[in-house]
């Protein structure tokens, strides 16, 4: 009799428990790890060292830790969901590259990625009542500062430029529900390559520009509040 009552009670509780759908309003905070790789090249093909592929083609990778905030509203369709939203993140990477051919012929370039903000949509599926998987896609703007120095004896040139570069991104994410209102998530984003240029006609002594092809990958661990 006791076993029957226990089984009956358990079934009743499970039957009365609603499925924890990914649905409604969410506000989240993230700790992010940004990896940025800068590959330099020149737009000027008449330099004195045999072509830009020999002198300017150098790369460097740098990582940094930042944070972000986000908001989204999820619509659920029988465990499938779409969650459009907005976000703002502080990246803080500082990547430096360059090359010294001789004491009177060298260049250096520094790329600082500062903030990232944009719109996104999570396309996902509630695997269980606690666990979900989703694909984030969207468009973002990344604010940056690019500084370039070059010395080609007897000429020296330097420039600094700030701006914002737009790009698309995609990724993969997982979320887990802790309580009715609190959840945690892990996510990966990859941005389409950004081509950042130094100030045209100023940086190089030969009037070209040093372009920084910049690839950005972002890893996030965060928490969200459903309201």
Mean pLDDT by 10 residues, the chain (227 residues): 46 47 97 96 61 74 97 97 98 93 87 97 97 98 93 84 95 96 98 87 68 95 97
pLDDT of residue 56: 81
Q: How far is CA 26 from the centre of its chain?
A: 20
Taking the C-alpha atoms of residue 212 and residue 205, their distance in angstroms, rounded to an integer, is 18
DSSP category for residue 178: S
Stated pTM of the model: 0.83
pLDDT recorded at residue 197: 85
Beta-bridge mates of residue 175: 132, 185
Alpha helices in 77-193 (DSSP H): none
Cβ-contact 194, 169 below 8 angstroms? no
Domain 25-226 matching CATH 3.30.1330.90: the answer reads no
Backbone angles phi, psi at 53, to 5 degrees: -65, -20
Q: Is 208 helix (H, G, I), strand (E, B) or coil?
A: coil
| pLDDT score, position 14 | 39
Residue 203 has what pLDDT?
65
Q: Where are the domains of the chain?
A: 25-226
Is the omega angle on the peptide bond into residue 154 within 30 degrees of 0, that is, cis? yes
What pLDDT score does 11 carry?
Answer: 39
């Amino acid at each position: 009799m006791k076993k029957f009552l226990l089984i009956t009670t358990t079934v009743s509780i499970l039957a009365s428990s609603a499925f924890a759908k990914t649905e409604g309003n969410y506000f989240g905070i993230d700790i992010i790890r940004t990896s940025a790789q800068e590959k330099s090249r020149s737009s000027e093909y008449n330099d004195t060292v045999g072509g830009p592929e020999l002198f300017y083609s150098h790369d460097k990778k740098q990582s940094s830790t930042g944070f972000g905030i986000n908001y989204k509203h999820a619509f659920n369709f029988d465990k499938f969901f779409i969650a459009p939203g907005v976000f703002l993140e502080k990246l803080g990477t500082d990547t430096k590259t360059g090359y010294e051919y001789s004491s009177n012929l060298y260049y250096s370039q520094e790329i600082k990625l500062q903030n990232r903000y944009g719109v996104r949509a999570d396309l996902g599926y509630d695997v269980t009542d606690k666990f979900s998987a989703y694909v984030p896609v969207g468009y973002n703007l990344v604010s940056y500062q690019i500084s370039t120095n070059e010395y080609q004896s007897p000429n020296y040139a330097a420039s600094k430029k700030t701006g914002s570069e737009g790009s698309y991104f995609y990724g993969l994410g997982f979320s887990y529900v802790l309580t009715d209102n609190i959840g945690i998530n892990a996510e990966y984003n990859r941005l389409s390559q950004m081509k950042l240029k130094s100030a045209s006609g100023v940086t190089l002594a030969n009037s070209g520009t040093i372009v920084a092809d910049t690839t950005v990958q972002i890893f996030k661990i965060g928490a969200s509040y459903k309201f």
